[in-house]
Amino acid sequence: MNDIIEIIKLVLSAGVFIAAISGVFKYFYEKNRELYISRLNEVYAPLVSYLIKQETVRYLFFKELTIKEAPILTWISEETTTNGTEITKKSKPILDRTYFIEILKNSNKGLIKPKLLKLLNAYEILIYLEETLKIDSDKWKIATNKKVNVEYELFREVQIGYEETIEKLKLDDKFEIFNLEDFTI
């Protein structure tokens, strides 16, 4: 009889131990889940939303421009109105790189993956250099070429980070937001 009681105690102890381990795993899973949800909402979803709009415009109107050549598009529409003898031109940004930069700047830096943070800061300084150096100088050409490379890496990092976050949250199986070589709707 004592043997049966000892076996029952052992089984109950093992059950308590397994329940405790399970509770620890559940705690860390939920804690990480909150982090990934915050990362999705505060970093990747706004960036991906902008890029989806951009890639839709690229698909419809600029198929000849590859993502590698022009990763972040700026497209400004000009409206011309005539009022008697006065002609007025008004520019209206449809896609604007400054809006993309604002989204990056307003992202929660504590949730941004280190590579994205590095690219963001490099992008900001390269844009500053491109806008302040003399056009067609050697330094301007270097900064502009590097800026395009960093834009492409930013695009890729946003894509990869979004897809990884969706996968970690188990929101979709093997989800790909962009086909980088041929974007189709």
Q: In this predicted model, what pLDDT tens digit does every residue of 125-151 receive, in sequence order? A: 999 999 999 998 999 999 999 999 999
Which has the higher per-residue pLDDT, 71 or 9?
A: 71
**pLDDT the model gives residue 30:** 64
String of DSSP letters for 41-76: IIIIHHHHHHHHHHHHHHHHH-TTS-TTT-SS--EE
Q: What is the dihedral of CA 75, 72, 111, 118, to 10 degrees?
A: -130
This prediction has a pTM of 0.73
Residue 85's SS3 state is: coil
Measured in degrees and rounded to the nearest 5, phi and psi for residue 68 equal -65, -40
User: What are 31-66's pLDDT values in tens digits?
Assistant: 688 889 999 999 999 999 999 889 888 888 888 988
The tens digit of pLDDT for each residue in 141-179 reads 999 999 999 999 999 999 999 988 888 888 876 666 765
- Predicted local confidence at residue 32, as pLDDT: 81
